[in-house]
Structure 1
Amino acid sequence: MSLVPSSLVSFRRPLYLWNLMIRDSTNNGFFIQTLNIYSSMAHSGVHGNNLTYPLLLKACANLASIQHGTVLHSHLLKLGFQADAFVQTALVDMYSKSSHVESARLVFDEMPHRSVVSWNTMVSAYSRVSSMDQALSLLKEMWVLGFKPTASTFVSILSGYSNVDTFKFRLQGVSIHGCLIKLGIVNTEVSLANSLMAMYAQFCRMDEARKVFDLMDEKSIISWTTMIGGYVKIGHATEAFGLFKQMQRQSVGIDFVVFLNLISGCIQVGELLLASSVHSLVLKCGCDEAGSVENLLITMYSKCGNLTFARRIFDLIIEKSMLSWTSMIAGYAHSGLPVEALDLFRRMLKTDIRPNGATLATVLSACADLGSLSMGQEIEEYVFLNGWESDQQVQTSLIHMYSKCGCIKKAREVFEKVTDKDLTVWTSMINSYAIHGMGNEAISLFHKMTTEEGIIPDAIVYTSVLLACSHSGLVEDGLKYFKSMQKDFRIAPTVEHCTCLIDLLGRVGQLDLALDAIQGMPLAVQAQAWGSLLSACRIHGNVELGELATFKLLETSPGRSGSYVLMSNLYTSSGKWKEAHMMRNLIDGKGLVKECGWSQVEVSGSHDALGAGN
Structure 2
Amino acid sequence: MPQRPSTSTFANFQRPLYLWNLMIRDSTNNGFFTETLKAYSFIHHSGLHGSTFTYPLLLKSCANLLSIPHGTMLHGHVLTLGFQADTFVQTALVDMYSKCSVIESARKVFDEMPQRSVVSWNAVISAYCRESLMDKAMSLLKEMLVVGFEPSSSTFVSILSGYSSDLNSSEFLLWQGMSIHCFVVKLCLVCFEVSLDNSLMGMYAQFGQMDEARKVFEFSDEKSIVSWTTIMGGYVKVGSIAEAFKLFHQMQHQHIDIDFVVFLNLISGCIQSKELLLASSVHSLVLKCGCDEEDSVENLLITMYANCGNLTSARRVFDAIIGKSVLPWTSMIAGYARSCHPEEALGLFRRMIRTEIRPNGATLATILSACADLGSLSIGQEIEQYVFENGFELDQQVQTSLIHMYSKCGSINKSREVFERVKNKDLTLWTSMINSYAIHGMGNEAISLFEKMTTSERIKPDAIVYTSLFLACSHSGLIEDGLKYFKSMQADFAITPTIEHYTCLVDLLSRVGQLDLALDAVEAMPPEVQAKALGPLLSACRIHGNIELAELAAAKLLNVSPRNSTSYVLMAHLYNSVGKWKEANTMRNWIDGKGIVKECGWSQVQVSG
Same fold (TM over 0.5): yes
Matched letter for residue 74 of structure 2 = L
How does 1:154-173 map onto structure 2 within 5 Å?
Answer: 154-164=156-166, 165=168, 167=170, 169-173=173-177
Give identity over the alignment, percent. 74
Q: Call closer, same or farther: CA 1:346–1:603 in 2, change over 3 Å.
A: farther
Higher relative contact order (CA 8 A, sep 6+): 2
Q: Of 128, 131, 136, which residue of structure 2 is paired with 1:129? A: 131
Deviation at 1:297, TM superposition (A): 0.9
SS of the residue 2:420 aligns to = helix
Counterpart CA distance in 2 for 1:316 and 1:155 is 41
Which stretch shows the higher mean deviation, 221-230 or 6-15? 6-15
SS of the residue 2:407 aligns to = helix
CA deviation map 1:320-361 (0-9, x unaligned) = 111111111111111111111111111111111111111111
Given that 1:310 and 1:328 are in contact with CA atoms closer than 8 Å, whether structure 2 keeps it comes out as: yes
**Which residue of structure 1 lines up, in the alignment, with residue 67 of structure 2?**
65
**Which residue of structure 1 lines up, in the alignment, with residue 322 of structure 2?**
318
Matched letter for residue 590 of structure 2 = L
Q: Of 474, 479, 484, which residue of structure 1 is paired with 2:483? A: 479
Matched letter for residue 351 of structure 1 = T
**Which residue of structure 2 lines up, in the alignment, with residue 612 of structure 1?**
none
Counterpart CA distance in 2 for 1:42 and 1:465 is 65
Given that 1:123 and 1:138 are in contact with CA atoms closer than 8 Å, whether structure 2 keeps it comes out as: yes
Counterpart CA distance in 1 for 2:45 and 2:408 is 69
SS of the residue 2:591 aligns to = helix
Q: Call closer, same or farther: CA 1:559–1:110 in 2, change over 3 Å.
A: closer
**Which residue of structure 2 lines up, in the alignment, with residue 27 of structure 1?**
29
Counterpart CA distance in 1 for 2:575 and 2:428 is 43
Which stretch shows the higher mean deviation, 92-101 or 358-367? 92-101
Given that 1:4 and 1:36 are in contact with CA atoms closer than 8 Å, whether structure 2 keeps it comes out as: no
**Which residue of structure 2 lines up, in the alignment, with residue 93 of structure 1?**
95
TM-score (norm 1): 0.92
Q: Call closer, same or farther: CA 1:182–1:436 in 2, change over 3 Å.
A: same
Q: Of 492, 507, 514, which residue of structure 2 is paired with 1:510? A: 514
CA deviation map 1:491-520 (0-9, x unaligned) = 222222222222222222222222222222
Q: Call closer, same or farther: CA 1:518–1:86 in 2, change over 3 Å.
A: same
Q: Of 102, 110, 113, which residue of structure 2 is paired with 1:111? A: 113
SS of the residue 1:488 aligns to = helix
CA deviation map 1:246-295 (0-9, x unaligned) = 33343332222222122222222222222222222211211111111111
Q: Call closer, same or farther: CA 1:140–1:543 in 2, change over 3 Å.
A: closer
Q: Call closer, same or farther: CA 1:563–1:5 in 2, change over 3 Å.
A: closer
Q: Of 175, 178, 188, which residue of structure 1 is paired with 2:179? A: 175
Please say if 1:192 is aligned against 2:192.
Answer: no
Given that 2:13 and 2:42 are in contact with CA atoms closer than 8 Å, whether structure 1 keeps it comes out as: no
Which stretch shows the higher mean deviation, 399-408 or 89-98? 89-98
Q: Of 370, 375, 378, which residue of structure 2 is paired with 1:366? A: 370
Given that 1:364 and 1:397 are in contact with CA atoms closer than 8 Å, whether structure 2 keeps it comes out as: yes
**Which residue of structure 2 lines up, in the alignment, with residue 275 of structure 1?**
279
Counterpart CA distance in 2 for 1:131 and 1:509 is 51
Counterpart CA distance in 1 for 2:407 and 2:283 is 39
Deviation at 1:314, TM superposition (A): 0.9
Given that 1:231 and 1:239 are in contact with CA atoms closer than 8 Å, whether structure 2 keeps it comes out as: yes
Counterpart CA distance in 2 for 1:366 and 1:77 is 59
Which stretch shows the higher mean deviation, 394-403 or 237-246? 237-246
Please say if 1:581 is aligned against 2:585.
Answer: yes
Which stretch shows the higher mean deviation, 221-230 or 594-603? 594-603
Which stretch shows the higher mean deviation, 585-594 or 309-318? 585-594
Deviation at 1:8, TM superposition (A): 4.1
Deviation at 1:603, TM superposition (A): 6.1
SS of the residue 2:37 aligns to = helix
Q: Call closer, same or farther: CA 1:67–1:457 in 2, change over 3 Å.
A: closer
SS of the residue 1:194 aligns to = helix
Counterpart CA distance in 2 for 1:169 and 1:498 is 29
Q: Of 250, 260, 285, which residue of structure 2 is paired with 1:246? A: 250
**Which residue of structure 2 lines up, in the alignment, with residue 333 of structure 1?**
337
Q: Call closer, same or farther: CA 1:535–1:210 in 2, change over 3 Å.
A: same
Which stretch shows the higher mean deviation, 555-564 or 594-603? 594-603
CA deviation map 1:132-165 (0-9, x unaligned) = 3333333333323322222122222323334333
Given that 1:4 and 1:40 are in contact with CA atoms closer than 8 Å, whether structure 2 keeps it comes out as: no
Please say if 1:225 is aligned against 2:238.
Answer: no
**Which residue of structure 1 lines up, in the alignment, with residue 58 of structure 2?**
56
Deviation at 1:219, TM superposition (A): 1.9
**Which residue of structure 1 lines up, in the alignment, with residue 288 of structure 2?**
284
Deviation at 1:573, TM superposition (A): 0.7
**Which residue of structure 1 lines up, in the alignment, with residue 470 of structure 2?**
466
**Which residue of structure 2 lines up, in the alignment, with residue 608 of structure 1?**
none
CA deviation map 1:9-39 (0-9, x unaligned) = 4474444433332222212111111222333
**Which residue of structure 1 lines up, in the alignment, with residue 428 of structure 2?**
424
Deviation at 1:188, TM superposition (A): 3.1
Q: Call closer, same or farther: CA 1:72–1:276 in 2, change over 3 Å.
A: same
Counterpart CA distance in 2 for 1:414 and 1:485 is 28
Deviation at 1:54, TM superposition (A): 2.1
**Which residue of structure 1 lines up, in the alignment, with residue 493 of structure 2?**
489
**Which residue of structure 2 lines up, in the alignment, with residue 406 of structure 1?**
410
CA deviation map 1:540-590 (0-9, x unaligned) = 222233233333333333333332222111111110112222222333333
Aligned residues: 603
Please say if 1:520 is aligned against 2:524.
Answer: yes
Matched letter for residue 75 of structure 2 = H
Matched letter for residue 52 of structure 2 = N
Counterpart CA distance in 1 for 2:393 and 2:7 is 50
Matched letter for residue 264 of structure 1 = S
Matched letter for residue 485 of structure 2 = Y
Given that 1:433 and 1:442 are in contact with CA atoms closer than 8 Å, whether structure 2 keeps it comes out as: yes
Counterpart CA distance in 1 for 2:13 and 2:411 is 77
Which stretch shows the higher mean deviation, 550-559 or 259-268? 550-559
**Which residue of structure 1 lines up, in the alignment, with residue 122 of structure 2?**
120
**Which residue of structure 2 lines up, in the alignment, with residue 609 of structure 1?**
none
Counterpart CA distance in 1 for 2:526 and 2:481 is 23
Q: Of 533, 542, 547, which residue of structure 2 is paired with 1:529? A: 533
SS of the residue 2:493 aligns to = coil
**Which residue of structure 2 lines up, in the alignment, with residue 388 of structure 1?**
392
Structure 1's unaligned 5+ residue stretches are 606-614
TM-score (norm 2): 0.92
Q: Of 256, 265, 286, which residue of structure 2 is paired with 1:261? A: 265
Counterpart CA distance in 1 for 2:411 and 2:286 is 46
Matched letter for residue 94 of structure 1 = M
Given that 1:537 and 1:546 are in contact with CA atoms closer than 8 Å, whether structure 2 keeps it comes out as: yes
Q: Call closer, same or farther: CA 1:150–1:556 in 2, change over 3 Å.
A: same
Matched letter for residue 159 of structure 1 = S
Q: Call closer, same or farther: CA 1:259–1:7 in 2, change over 3 Å.
A: closer
Q: Call closer, same or farther: CA 1:473–1:288 in 2, change over 3 Å.
A: same
**Which residue of structure 2 lines up, in the alignment, with residue 375 of structure 1?**
379
CA deviation map 1:194-253 (0-9, x unaligned) = 222222333343343333333322222212222222233344434433433333343332
Given that 2:377 and 2:606 are in contact with CA atoms closer than 8 Å, whether structure 1 keeps it comes out as: no
Given that 1:60 and 1:69 are in contact with CA atoms closer than 8 Å, whether structure 2 keeps it comes out as: yes
Matched letter for residue 111 of structure 1 = M
Counterpart CA distance in 2 for 1:319 and 1:7 is 37
Q: Call closer, same or farther: CA 1:307–1:42 in 2, change over 3 Å.
A: same
Given that 1:187 and 1:217 are in contact with CA atoms closer than 8 Å, whether structure 2 keeps it comes out as: yes
Matched letter for residue 453 of structure 1 = E
Which stretch shows the higher mean deviation, 422-431 or 197-206? 197-206
Counterpart CA distance in 2 for 1:110 and 1:558 is 72
Please say if 1:304 is aligned against 2:282.
Answer: no
Counterpart CA distance in 2 for 1:212 and 1:469 is 48
Q: Call closer, same or farther: CA 1:42–1:395 in 2, change over 3 Å.
A: closer
Counterpart CA distance in 2 for 1:367 and 1:91 is 52
